[in-house]
Amino acid sequence: MKKIIITIDGPAASGKGRIAKYVAKEYNFIHIDSGLLYRKIAKLLIDKKTDLKKSNQVKQILIKNNNFSLRDNNNLRNEHIGRASSIIAKMNFVRNHVNKQQILLTEQKTNKKGFVIDGRDIGSVVFKNADLKLFIDVNPNVRAKRRHKQLIDLGEKSIYAKILKEIKLRDKQDIIRLNSPLVVPKGAHIIDNSKSFNKTLIKINHLIGQIT
Ligand code: DC
């Protein structure tokens, strides 16, 4: 039976990951966090002391490592890795590599009902024919407050003004890049996630109810 594909795109710290986790649990889907795949590559490059400006060095590391698990880890969630992943996400060959991984993951045999994939270009580039496309929208100040709290909860040092600046910078990098910039995908439903999470879930459940 054909598996359902739901895409969730949106800017950094918009809550798309939390929504994707909810959908996976509630509807028995596999969750693919594409940002995590970029973060894993960024961490690997940093660990190997690769010069991110030298595409040849980045390519060499990618060729040798093409098996990235979906396992999350708190040490991938800091701003240093976030910044580096935003830089490597501009490179065409890195994007192709990550996109291929995502498609392979959705071709695996599973008894789950489908896949929920979150990122920046999932509904616009990687899964253009998805059954449902969502775009999560939240004002940068609200996102910065949430990210700040998340980092403090993880035991990291965080200054709100710095986080807000980082978020705005990352938005800019994600929106103006030539390869797969962050856009509202064609046919996507825009979900305002700046109020309570429960309100967001009501909208999401309603939309999923129409395709399942
Ligand atoms: O969602 P995140 O913060 O974990 O993503 C980390 C970085 O990866 C983000 O700055 C941009 C990039 N990314 C991307 O370009 N395309 C995706 N589909 C997912 C993430």
Q: Is the pLDDT of residue 187 over 80?
A: yes
Closest atom of ligand 1 to 90 CA is 15
Give the rounded percent of residues in the chain with a pLDDT score beyond 90: 76
Q: What is the mean pLDDT of the chain?
A: 93
Q: How many domains does the chain have?
A: 1
Task: Note the pLDDT of residue 70.
Answer: 83
Atom of ligand 1 nearest to the CA of 9: 18
DSSP string, the chain: -PPEEEEEE-STTSSHHHHHHHHHHHHTEEEEEHHHHHHHHHHHHHHTT--TT-HHHHHHHHHH---------GGG-SHHHHHHHHHHTT-HHHHHHHHHHHHHHHHS--SSSEEEEEESSIIIIITTT-SEEEEEE--HHHHHHHHHHHHHHTT----HHHHHHHHHHHHHHHHH-SSS---PPTTPEEEE-SS-HHHHHHHHHHHHHTT-
Instruction: Classify 109 as helix, strand or coil.
Output: coil
pLDDT above 90: residue 96:
yes
Q: Which residues neighbour 37 within 8 Å (Cβ) at sequence distance 6 or greater? A: 68, 98, 101, 102
- Write down the pLDDT at residue 67: 66
Query: Tell me, what's the pLDDT at 168?
Result: 93
CATH of residue 103: 3.40.50.300
Ligand 1 pocket test, candidate residues 86, 98, 166, most atoms within 8 A of CB = 86
Predicted structure pTM score? 0.92
Range of the domain at 187: 4-209
What pLDDT shows up at residue 3?
A: 95
Confidence band, pLDDT 50/70/90 cuts, at residue 9: very high
The predicted structure's pLDDT at residue 110: 93
Ligand 1 — pocket residues by CB below 6 A?
Answer: 12, 34-35, 38-39, 82, 85-86, 89, 119-122, 170, 174
Distance 182 CA to ligand 1 centre (A): 9
Residue 16 has pLDDT above 80, yes or no: yes
